[in-house]
Chains A and B, each alone.
Chain A
């Protein structure tokens, strides 16, 4: 079965850091660009970040630029999202998403990140 699985979510204090992982099964993740998309409770979808298949190109939404870093280890079929200086506005479910010609054809189940003291 073709799957993306996020891990690493949890409760973190304001100003803290957290690293999300996205692991692929059933296909070779290194063949694809990967995005992170988040959804705050009761809100819509928000684009967060993208990494190209080789890792050579990375993009960030203005709302996370300078605080979040996307990376990947193709030998482990895994993409990461390092998040720092977290604030309440970063509380959301974070989805790892596979890119297919600039649309998102495979979504993980999501990882909940809660920023609270």
Chain B
């Protein structure tokens, strides 16, 4: 059972905006550890999408944004495009486990 909870799937029409949530607890997100997001195309390695809650690496479009509040974080994708139909994972650190932890992943479907 993943430590961080994500919805298994979300969907939206092209051009719309979707939000993917990532819920943790007092030993990880709530303890102040940053949340990071990764995008994974089928059959490929994950790629860093958002780091330290709301920062985009070079080359990531500004359609992708992140936020964090309390024990949760969110990834917002605006202006949905067909190429966004991939899997997304959140990640943080858990001090009780002394380990890096992931969410279970969310599959985005562009209708």
Contact = CB atoms under 8 A, between A and B. Distances in A.
Is chain B a partner of chain A in the same complex?
yes
Interface of A: 35, 37, 44-47, 50, 59, 61-62, 95, 100-110
Contacts of B98: 59
B52 A103 contact: yes
16 contacts: A44-B2, A44-B102, A44-B103, A47-B99, A47-B101, A50-B100, A59-B98, A61-B99, A100-B51, A101-B52, A102-B33, A103-B36, A103-B48, A104-B38, A104-B46, A105-B57
B105 interface: yes
Contact of A105 (B34, B44, B51): B51
Contacts, number: 56
Contact of B102 (A47, A102, A109): A47
B22 to A, nearest CB: 12
Interface string B74-105: 00000000000000010101000111111111
Contact of B46 (A46, A61, A62, A95): A95
Given A101-B52, A110-B45, 12 more contacts: A44-B89, A45-B38, A45-B46, A95-B45, A102-B33, A104-B36, A104-B46, A104-B48, A107-B45, A107-B47, A108-B45, A109-B44
A104 B91 contact: yes
Contacts of B44: 109
Nearest to B37: A103
A46 B38 CA distance: 13
A43 to B, nearest CB: 8
Nearest to B100: A47
4 interchain residue pairs of minimum CB distance: A103-B36, A107-B45, A44-B105, A45-B102
A54 B102 CA distance: 25
Contact of B100 (A35, A105, A108): A35
A21 B44 CA distance: 19
Nearest to A102: B93
Q: Which of A35, A44, A59, A101 has the most CB of B within 10 A?
A: A44
Nearest to A6: B45
A95 to B, nearest CB: 6
Contacts of A105: 48, 51, 57
